Copies of this chain bind each other. A is one copy, B any other.
Amino acid sequence: MARAGLTAESVTRAAADLADTVGFENLTVSALARSLRVKDPSLYSHIRSLQDLRERVALLAAGELADRIAAAVAGRAGFEALAAFADAYREYALACPGRYAATQIPLAPAVLAASAAYARTVELTHAMLRAYRLSEPDLTDAGRLLRSAFHGYVTLEANGGFSHSRDVRASWERALLALHTLLENWPTDPSPHAADGGEP
């Protein structure tokens, strides 16, 4: 029988494409084997399990996302960098919903540490924030808030969470402007009210 010439990489890419088409939660070994004109067990020469396949797609997608963000923010600073970062993030999530969903699965700390892709996104966030002249721990706090806002927005948008008639793209533009304002006025002094008051 003619060989299909599969490799772990080509299988992972095919899985990512399939996930973008049918949704990440519908990515199955059977469906992937069908799309590659191969029987299910053949794939287990290249992947260890469905979970392993999902993690490979996650790492592939995280790398692609980091690449796009890096290209978008290159040579920009301030609001331009913020908007470029955010638009690259959102466009990737909307154009590649299966790949993006893959990046959100919980990964074992060992897997996460072994791959640079996730750390690179965090570093890119910090690099973009340097223009706002924040120092730790504000840098980490602001980075977490930004990534939360981006991730939350695109997932709510993708899942139909914004049912109001207001244009979603217009809201996004305003949100970026608002986040820019937020970063320029980041409250850096210890807050005026004791949120977690002074027990010893």
Instruction: Point out the residue from B83, B137, B153 that lies within 8 Å of A145, measured CB to CB.
Output: B153
Give the chain B neighbours of A95 by CB distance below 8 A: none
Q: How far apart are the CA atoms of A138 and B138 in the complex, in Å?
A: 27
Give the chain B neighbours of A163 by CB distance below 8 A: 109, 112, 122
A152 touches B160 (CB 8 A): no
What is the count of identical protomers in the complex? Answer: 2
Give the chain B neighbours of A196 by CB distance below 8 A: 170, 173
Residue from A104, A141, A185 whose CB has the most chain B CB atoms within 10 Å:
A141
Instruction: Point out the residue from B137, B156, B171 that lies within 8 Å of A166, measured CB to CB.
Output: B137
Q: How far apart are the CA atoms of A107 and B156 in the complex, in Å?
A: 12
Tell me how many residues of A have a C-beta within 8 Å of chain B: 51
**Assuming A155-B155, A156-B148, is B178 touching A181 (CB within 8 A)?**
no
Q: How far apart are the CA atoms of A141 and B153 in the complex, in Å?
A: 11
Q: Is A74 an interface residue (CB 8 A)?
A: no
B159 touches A106 (CB 8 A): yes
CB distance from A9 to the nearest CB of B (A): 25
Residue of B nearest to A184 (CB): B185
B152 touches A148 (CB 8 A): yes
B148 touches A177 (CB 8 A): no
**Assuming A149-B145, A159-B106, A160-B107, is B174 touching A138 (CB within 8 A)?**
yes
* Interface of A toward B, CB cutoff 8 Å: 25, 79, 83, 104-107, 109, 112, 122, 136-138, 140-142, 144-145, 147-153, 155-156, 159-164, 166, 170-171, 173-175, 177-179, 181-182, 185-187, 191, 193, 195-196
